[in-house]
Structure formats: structure tokens, C-alpha cells
Amino acid sequence: MKLENKVAIVTGGSRGIGRAIVLQLASDGAKVIFTYQSSEQVANELAEEVKKNGGEAYCIKADASSFEEAQNVVNFALEKFGSVSILVNNAGATKDNLLLRMSESDFDSVINTNLKSVFNYTKAILKPFLGQRFGKIINISSVVAITGNAGQANYVAAKAGVIGLTKSNAKELASRNINVNAIAPGFIETDMTSKLTDLQKDAILVNVPLKKMGKPEDIAKLVSFLSSSDSDYITGQVIAVDGGMVM
């Protein structure tokens, strides 16, 4: 297995894309620590599913917007396994509204969950990564960070910030053999997109050359690749997984 003896931290790992990432990394041999915000039962069920499949996973309740809680998660991983090799910054939230109606608290909340969380976990993991002169950081952004999207100024700003952080951190950390890349998912079948009407989905697919929505597993497979030695010469990249929506 290509990730055997590797240890991964996945933020926001209990549902949707995060869940698929946890399952994929574990199936590829990694020991996985994943965080959740509110769905304790769902998180525990996922950890049990990994174990039943012969893997090893642990879930921790943590607020991704808190640096202190991010440091606690990293400390847990180090105490449990002695090292960490992979960080997947996946935690995210939306509070959509037109800018005219968007509250300051909704803007701040989405920025903190989607963008500050990447700073928190990356900073928390740096000391062990720098010490071992190795690490893989994969940040989950979005295609709307590239295209913009009406009614999502907070989310788009946060995800665009993730791209900026990815590129800056890749340049800072390359000399220490630490790869930093971002994935920009398009429209993926998750709880978030399940709320869309058929009419809304059809309107979206008009702009998707492959004429279908992606699956969480499409993202998870790329995360696995970027976590492995197969991607050792790739850093600072933003890879869209969007059916050709952005070219």
C-alpha cells in the first residue's frame, strides 16, 4: 500500500469529501486522525468503518478556526504515532447571501472556518514537518475561487485565500522537502449540493463539459496521489477536479 506507515490529519473529515478522503487514505495504508465539528455519531461510525476494513482511524472534535485546538490535534497525532506525514485541510462551511445582505459575523465565520483553519493547521504542523524534512500538505479550495460566484463573497474570498496560502507556503517550504498543493473541486455530490433543485443542477451542468457532477471519491483519489511519493516533484499547484468547468 502506497501510504503504509504514514500518518495523516484530515480536518472536517466526517462527511462528504472529507469522509471520502479518510476512507481513501486509510485504504491506502495511512493511519488517519480526522476532525469533526458537531456530528459525533457520524464521526464515530466512520472511525469504526475504517477499523472494520482493517485500517486505523481516530476522530477528534475540534473547531478548525481555533489555533489552540489545531495544535491539540497535532499534539494528539504526535503522541499517538510519533510523527505525521500528511495534512489535508478540508474543513469548510458556507453561509451564502448577497453581499448587500451578508452580515459581518457570517463573513467572519466563513473566513475563519475555511481560510484561517488552513493557517492554523499548517502552522501547528510546521515544527514536526521541518524537523523531519518531509511533509505533504493538501488544501481543499474550490473552482469558485477561480471563477467567482454571486451570493458567495465570503466563501469565494476564503477559498481564493487558500490558493494564495498554498502558493506562498509552497515557496517557503520547498527547500525542506515539504510539498504544498491545492485541489479545486467543482460541483461534487455532497450534502451541500443535494439541496439544489433539478433545475439548478441542470443550469450548472450547462457549463460542465463532462455533463455530470463529480463524486467525493474523485477528490479523495487525487488527495491520495498528492499524499504519496508519486507526487514528489509537484508543489504549489492548484488542480481543478471539475469535469472541465474551468479550463
Q: How many CB atoms lie within 10 A of CB 42?
A: 14
Distances (CA, A) of 211 to 16, 148, 192, 199, 207: 21, 20, 19, 14, 8
Contacts of 131 (CB under 8 A, 6+ apart): none
Q: Quote the CA–CA distance of 194 and 196 in Å, as a whole number.
A: 5
Collapsing DSSP to helix, strand or coil, 137 comes out as strand
Region label for 75, one of left (φ > 0), alpha (ψ between -120 and 50) or beta (otherwise)? alpha
Collapsing DSSP to helix, strand or coil, 14 comes out as coil
Q: How many CB atoms lie within 10 A of CB 14?
A: 24
DSSP letter string over 61-76? E--TT-HHHHHHHHHH
Distances (CA, A) of 62 to 8, 35, 138, 186, 215: 16, 6, 19, 26, 26
Active site residue 155: yes
Of 36, 58, 121, 155, the active-site residue reads 155
SS3 content of the chain, % helix, strand, coil (to 5): 50, 15, 30
Residues that are catalytic: 155
